[in-house]
Amino acid sequence: MASGERLPSGVLDIHAEAEPLRLEGFLPYRLNMLATEVSQTLARAYGRKFGISIPEWRVLATLGQFGVMTARDIGGHSRMHKTTVSRAVAALEKRRLIVRRANRADMREAFLALTDAGTTIYQEIVPMARAFSDSLCEGLSETELRQMNVLIDKLAERVASLGNG
Amino acid sequence: MASGERLPSGVLDIHAEAEPLRLEGFLPYRLNMLATEVSQTLARAYGRKFGISIPEWRVLATLGQFGVMTARDIGGHSRMHKTTVSRAVAALEKRRLIVRRANRADMREAFLALTDAGTTIYQEIVPMARAFSDSLCEGLSETELRQMNVLIDKLAERVASLGNG
DNA sequence: GTGGGTTTGTTTCAGCTGAAACGATCAAGT
DNA sequence: ACTTGATCGTTTCAGCTGAAACAAACCCAC
């Protein structure tokens, strides 16, 4: 049976097989393909150039944006698992791209911040990331871009409520 | 400096720091967050119920859609790495959800197809996946949904050309 | 202050992933 | 037929991921 075809009205086809799912038209699948491709293409770019993994880039990006943060807050903002953050932070600290300073008011956590070297790399990656994003959005009108962001927000809100509720 | 603010025209601020990147407004990041959340929420649903991983579900879905295929074609259509396909196929075959039949015309490859048990599970997952997708798209108008698909296509095409060219 | 429960961050461990090497098969040229 | 090179699929191996266990520090009621 062709997609979109209908049974004669009033007839319930209890015994018919379910219509097969066309994967390439299935929104969750389409979203995931696109996002994976986008993410990996960008990651290849800065990975080749700076030897930075995705979690490491996210830590750099978060610290570049907010200045000083704890590992917990970095994870919260960039939605990374605390173990992922812990390892990315350890790697970046070893390469002296970030520093860890004690919080005397709470010795469990530590304040993290970019070093000068870290800031330098950050400021090299940011234009690369922006150029990539701009190039990606080339061909989308201003209206389409706004629409895309609205749609992402709506879907994100929806999936969050599906996951929890 | 606030986002969107401009320097006085004619002035190049050679020495100014680059504007920090707002991660939560950065399209590649936003896309990835959304897709990951959508994918994992759906995977949790059929994972809990049927003990099926994402690669396994993709193999089932591809075979459910196309009937008989080789591992190579499954990977090509669902964009999975050949080792991922190989392992998903082995697991599904062990559970007798798919069968492998030799291609006498080319003994390197094998024809794969759903068994009755595999078809049964497939036909149970499909409505669940459809319901999830429908529920996700609730709140999006027909127009917005069309627009979303147009935008995904445009971005996918664009990122493909960025990756290769 | 002490004990019980919580929070921050690290480590351990088991599972997943993909690059690379591999065996088997095929196709084409000689 | 034999060699060469490509293709299909599996296995190996090294790296990444997150759940769970853990240590250290915190908070608070008693």
Q: Which residues contact B155 (CB under 8 A, 6 or more apart)?
A: A34, A38, A136, A137, A140, B31
Q: What is the pLDDT of residue B16?
A: 52
Q: What is the pLDDT of residue A2?
A: 43
Q: What is the pLDDT of residue B18?
A: 67
| Whole-angstrom distance, CA of residue A58 vs CA of residue A61 | 5
Q: Say yes or no to pLDDT of B5 above 50.
A: no
Q: Say yes or no to pLDDT of A155 above 90.
A: yes
**In the beta sheet, which residues pair with residue A101?**
A111
Q: What is the pLDDT of residue B139?
A: 85
Q: CB of residue A60 closer than 7 A to nucleic acid strand C?
A: no
**Which residues in chain A are closer than 8 Å to B32, comparing Cβ atoms?**
35, 38-39
pLDDT tens-digit readout, B66-105: 999 999 999 999 999 999 999 999 999 999 999 999 999 9
Instruction: Provide the pLDDT confidence category of residue A162 given band limits of 50, 70 and 90.
Output: confident
Q: What is the mean pLDDT of residues B48-60?
A: 96
Summary mean pLDDT of chain B: 90
**Which residues in chain A are closer than 8 Å to B131, comparing Cβ atoms?**
none
φ/ψ of A156, rounded to 5, equals -65, -40
- Among 1.10.10.10, 3.40.50.2300, 2.40.160.40, 1.20.58.740, name the CATH number for the domain at B50-136: 1.10.10.10
Chain A, chain B: beta-carbon pairs less than 8 Å apart: 178
Q: How many Å does it take to go from CA B133 to C1' D14? A: 37
Find and list the nucleotides of strand D having atoms within 7 Å of a protein beta carbon: 7-12, 16-20, 24-27
| Whole-angstrom distance, CA of residue A39 vs CA of residue A55 | 12
Q: What is the DSSP letter of A20?
A: P
- The domain segmentation of chain B, as residue ranges, is 50-136
Structurally, at CATH architecture level, domain A50-164 sits in Orthogonal Bundle (1.10)
- Whose structure tokens read 């599904």? B92
| Whole-angstrom distance, CA of residue A37 vs CA of residue A41 | 6
Instruction: Provide the pLDDT confidence category of residue A113 given band limits of 50, 70 and 90.
Output: very high
Least confident of A89-103, B13-27, B97-111, B140-154: B13-27
User: Residue B35 carries which side chain, given as an amino acid letter?
Assistant: A
Q: What is the pLDDT of residue B19?
A: 84
The candidate with the shortest Cα–Cα distance to A61, out of A154, A161, A130, A145, is A130
